[in-house]
């Protein structure tokens, strides 16, 4: 579930379980989204040219084949709220969504009346642990022998981002690949060791939180999302590799 409003509107209030990806940033950040999962966009106001529909159309044009948008022409956000469904200030509940497969270029329309039958709140999610750049940096600096042996670092950015500079000894597994399945039907993340600590990072923390959440729910209990991501790591003038 993607809230396509600006960050300030999302921070004020948003639907339970939704993450924020503003309409204006979709073309730049669409690689952060997995293509094998259904994506439902919504905005705070409906209409013939709603932000939700524009976002869904953009994603479909970018070859996302499972796209839907909520609540046009009704006001999806407030109609959903008035109907008595939960609205969250923090992302703290998982929303399981029935599978819908759409053809590229033709996002599915979901009315606010049908939404309760499609969106099913289930058990609360466990929030992933956040670790500061300083903690990871000094641990790697003071105990380099632990890297690979006791913990691993995963860079979730795309290859071109990774090649331009990354945290030393970090493995590059883009988020989309991490959440995809191998030819044997297993998720790529299932190849990761459960007996080691796993530090995940991206450019700023958005992708790493998604990855950490998925890993936690898959039984990985030693997962940490790097606060501020590589942007803050570089800003702190910590060592990088190319």
List active site positions. Answer: 202
φ, ψ at 90 (rounded to 5°) = -125, 150
- Separation CA 68–CA 151 (nearest Å): 39
Closest CA to 87 of 180, 187, 12, 185: 12
Rg, C-alpha atoms of the chain? 19
φ, ψ at 133 (rounded to 5°) = -60, -35
Closest CA to 3 of 47, 39, 35, 31: 39
The pair of three-digit structure tokens given for residue 37, joined into one six-digit string: 């999962």
What 3-state class would DSSP assign to 78?
A: helix
How many residues make up the chain in this entry?
Answer: 242
B/e letters for 86-96, b = 16+ CB within 10 Å, e = fewer, are eeeeebebbbe
């Amino acid at each position: 579930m993607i809230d396509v409003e600006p960050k300030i509107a999302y921070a004020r209030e948003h639907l339970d379980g939704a993450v924020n990806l503003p309409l204006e940033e979709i073309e730049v950040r669409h690689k952060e989204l997995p293509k094998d999962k259904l994506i439902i966009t919504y905005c705070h106001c409906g209409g013939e040219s709603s932000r939700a529909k524009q976002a869904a159309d953009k994603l479909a044009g970018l070859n996302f084949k499972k796209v839907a948008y909520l609540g046009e022409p009704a006001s999806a956000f407030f109609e959903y709220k008035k109907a008595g469904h939960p609205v969250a200030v923090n992302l703290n509940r998982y929303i399981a969504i029935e599978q819908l497969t759409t053809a590229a270029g033709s996002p599915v329309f979901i009315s606010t009346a049908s939404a309760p039958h499609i969106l099913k709140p289930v058990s609360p999610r466990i929030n992933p642990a956040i670790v500061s750049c300083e903690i990871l940096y000094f641990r790697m600096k003071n105990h380099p022998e632990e890297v690979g042996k006791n913990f691993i670092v995963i860079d979730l950015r795309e290859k071109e981002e990774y090649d331009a500079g990354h945290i030393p000894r970090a493995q590059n597994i883009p988020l989309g690949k991490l959440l995809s399945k191998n030819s044997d039907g297993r998720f790529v993340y299932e190849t990761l060791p459960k007996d080691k600590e796993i530090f995940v990072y991206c450019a700023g923390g958005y992708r790493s939180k998604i990855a950490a959440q998925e890993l936690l729910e898959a039984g990985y209990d030693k997962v940490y999302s790097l606060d501020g991501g590589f942007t803050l790591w570089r800003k702190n003038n910590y060592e990088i590799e190319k």
